[in-house]
Chains A and B, each alone.
Chain A
């Protein structure tokens, strides 16, 4: 008796369960981006790329803004220490740095911060010109944000990972899914440093 009712309820639950699993599979496909699926043509030629010459400044507590800015300024040929930049962008009362002030500090050091289109291939493309990308991540939640600046220095298409200088980590390998999540929550903000005499190609 008991077994028979169990069997009946299992049969009743079979199709809903199948459709649930199928739906979950579909949504997983939709949210898990692949580097190979991007339209950036050079990804096929260069499945792995890393700007190993990019300087690394391990971040002091809360000071990822100055550290990340020093990283991209250094890569563009302007060597400035994070300590100098902290006086120009760090806000003690906010435990962080504002985007606008990063742009202003770049100008102060003879570089133009060019904002990139909020698309994944637009953020990867500058790496081909040896330009690392400064970007804003939200490592927390939309309601309880944890803002963080990091510098994108490479990709690894077979592993579907991106490589960043981030905080105290010289080579942070971040899955593309996790990167897109944190970058989306951060408002898809990304800039590259350009010498005014050599602007980046559009």
Chain B
């Protein structure tokens, strides 16, 4: 009986020792090859995403009437982060340019009010 017990405990000790000696060896394996291959993969994925974003944004600019060679040059100026942000929501981004239209609308309203006789802003009209 005592012999059997010591056999079991010996096996357990051997197993634990082998496990503990295995763990660092395994970690060393991960840090070298797998990490490098992971980084290469991440870089490739980013490259492909950047390429797709570039194509998306360029196509959208052309749809909006920007000449093809201008669109090409403009997209080339954007950083990867800017491209990805644009590719995600280019239609929702504000496009500034409308001051004259607003002034026109306000002026029209004033003019109509004046002509109808509600206001008397332009005394010379």
Contacts and interface: CB of A to CB of B under 8 A. Distances in A.
Given A100-B93, A105-B77, A186-B94, A92 B66 contact: yes
A94 B65 CA distance: 9
A104 B98 CA distance: 21
B99 A166 contact: yes
B64 A168 contact: no
B52 interface: no
Interface residues of A, dominant DSSP: mixed
Contacts of A93: 63-66
A38 B30 CA distance: 57
A111 interface: no
Nearest to B99: A167
Interface residues of B, number: 26
Nearest to B85: A100
Nearest to B97: A96
Contacts of A79: none
B23 interface: no
Contact of B102 (A87, A95, A107, A140): A140
A68 B98 CA distance: 13
A97 B70 contact: no
